[in-house]
Amino acid sequence: MDWKDNLVEDDAGVQEVLASSRRVAVLGIRSESQAHKPAYAVPHFLQAHGYDIVPVSVHGEKGPILGQPVYSAVADVPGAVDVVQVFRKPEDIDGHVDDLLKKKPRAVWFQLGIRNDAAAEKLARAGIRVVQDRCMKVEFMKRERAREESAGSGART
């Protein structure tokens, strides 16, 4: 398999990563006091829709966040992680690549507006699927809409 196959850029691949993920470590999560920020609001939404959220703080929060203990590195998270959702500036991601490689999640998801092709290549070469510049909440809502439309059309036939 070519490492480029791990770069997930199409809607079907994005939906597959989302559908096959339950445990999400959130690198760069914000605390409840910053609930207006996407780095809190998106994981909060995902948790409310059945995802197991594992907070990984880079801002000094000691936790808990969303009722869960806070870790200071992805590699410190006990157990397997399906996907690491990244809320970091593109230029700050390079400093987390070694940590991500140590944990080796099935996927790493750079949130909407975040793209770092060099980091994505390193992760993809290590066998980790990478989604860039997409919002997990938006993609989840797309999936739910498609399910509803599919169920609705099935009921009419």
Of the pLDDT bands very low, low, confident and very high (cuts 50, 70, 90), residue 153 is low
CATH of the domain at 22: 3.40.50.720
Question: Please, which residues bridge with residue 7 across strands?
Answer: 130
pLDDT at 154: 57
pLDDT at 157 over 50: no
The domain total for the chain is 1
- The predicted-structure confidence for 64-103, as pLDDT tens digits, reads as follows 999 999 999 999 999 999 999 999 999 999 999 999 999 9
Mean pLDDT of 14-29: 96
Domain span including residue 104: 3-156
Average pLDDT, the chain: 93
- The predicted-structure confidence for 27-65, as pLDDT tens digits, reads as follows 999 999 899 999 999 999 999 999 999 999 998 888 799
- The predicted-structure confidence for 109-129, as pLDDT tens digits, reads as follows 999 999 999 999 999 999 999
Q: Which residue has the higher pLDDT, 53 or 151?
A: 53
pLDDT at 145: 84
